[in-house]
Amino acid sequence: MGRKFFVGGNWKCNGTAEDVKKIVATLNAGQIPSTDVVEVVVSPPFVFLTSVKSELRPEIQVAAQNCWVKKGGAFTGEVSAEMLANLGIPWVILGHSERRALLNETNEFVGDKVAYALSQGLKVIACVGETLEQREAGTTMEVVAAQTKAIADKISSWDNVVLAYEPVWAIGTGKVASPAQAQEVHAGLRKWFSDNVSAEVSASTRIIYGGSVSGSNCKELGGQTDVDGFLVGGASLKPEFIDIIKAAEVKKSA
Ligand SMILES: O=C[C@H](O)COP(=O)(O)O
């Protein structure tokens, strides 16, 4: 089975209730390819999840931006995977570099979170990516392989996981990875899967790119053999997100 193009919009910690209504109206009015061609998931902050889910057109799904590492309980300020499942939120983003860097989430902690979220029936967008220093030191593949291994060590199936390669130096900086740089790491991750998990997981797991994706660079990036879509930050708050969703057409016509 082919890998369906996947476009995620990570709204991060942005927006008022009024802003969110406008974004939803734009998404509801936009012309986008059918769900046979592209899977679209937007990720509002927790407080807006249920309203966005109920107001958004049914072809677009929602994701939380995080969840607690295990069963809920006395963990003030956290939101558990079972709460998300209970509310019918199908997806969660885990291991985003902002949480790894600012909240000290380790590879092992992210692996535990992915495993627990999957066990509660959620689908996971799991993020990996190197810093500028790591890229300049030539350790990019080593870093993303270690991050992916920490997840692989904790899960028995990749069926409900999308892997997002997000070079930290490209996030929110306008310095997008070149299509060749993205393709090189995506191909490396696919090889890592075939060497360390299975040929089937390597062929079927979607590996999406994130980091300064825009309406103007999405077609060339999305045209790369091993780029199966995007995780979009800043541009997912703007009408150009519709153009980025339409980049799925490059794969359909390939
Ligand atoms: O999750 C999304 C990424 O952090 C990319 O953010 P960005 O598109 O604003 O660079």
How do residues 33-91 score in pLDDT, each as one tens digit? 999 999 999 999 999 999 999 999 999 999 999 999 999 999 999 999 999 999 999 99
Mean pLDDT, residues 214-233: 98
Where would I find the H helices in the chain? 17-29, 49-55, 81-86, 97-102, 107-119, 132-136, 140-152, 179-196, 199-204, 218-222, 240-246, 248-252
Q: In angstroms, what is the span from residue 230 Cα to ligand 1's centroid?
A: 9
**Atom of ligand 1 minimally distant from the CA of 97:** 4
The C-alpha atoms of residue 1 and residue 252 are separated, in whole angstroms, by 14
Q: In angstroms, what is the span from residue 12 Cα to ligand 1's centroid?
A: 9
Q: In angstroms, what is the span from residue 74 Cα to ligand 1's centroid?
A: 32
Where would I find the H helices in 44-178? 49-55, 81-86, 97-102, 107-119, 132-136, 140-152
Residue among 41, 166, 237 to mutate when testing ligand 1 (max atoms within 8 A of CB): 166
Residue with the smallest CA separation from ligand 1 atom 3 is 233
Burial class (CB in 10 A: 0-12, 13-18, 19+), 174: exposed
Look up the ipTM and state it: 0.99
- Catalytic sites, residue numbers: 96, 166
Q: List pocket residues of ligand 1, CB cut-off 6 Å.
A: 10, 96, 166, 171-172, 210-213, 231-235
The region, left, alpha or beta by phi > 0 then psi within -120 to 50, assigned to residue 188 is alpha
Residue with the smallest CA separation from ligand 1 atom 2 is 233
Whether the model clears a pTM of 0.90, i.e. scores above it, the answer is yes
* Residue 23: CB atoms within 10 Å: 23
Q: How far apart are the first and last CA of the chain?
A: 16
Residue with the smallest CA separation from ligand 1 atom 8 is 233
Q: In angstroms, what is the span from residue 73 Cα to ligand 1's centroid?
A: 31
Sign of the CA dihedral running 171, 60, 2, 124: positive
For residue 1, what pLDDT band results from cuts at 50, 70 and 90?
low
Residue with the smallest CA separation from ligand 1 atom 6 is 233
Sign of the CA dihedral running 26, 32, 34, 39: negative
**By percentage, how much of the chain surpasses pLDDT 70?**
98
**Atom of ligand 1 minimally distant from the CA of 171:** 10
Q: Which residues are registered as beta bridge partners of 40?
A: 7, 60
**Atom of ligand 1 minimally distant from the CA of 12:** 1
Largest CA distance in the chain: 51
Is the pLDDT confidence value at 252 over 80? Answer: no
The C-alpha atoms of residue 195 and residue 189 are separated, in whole angstroms, by 10
Angle CA 59–61–62, to nearest 5 = 155
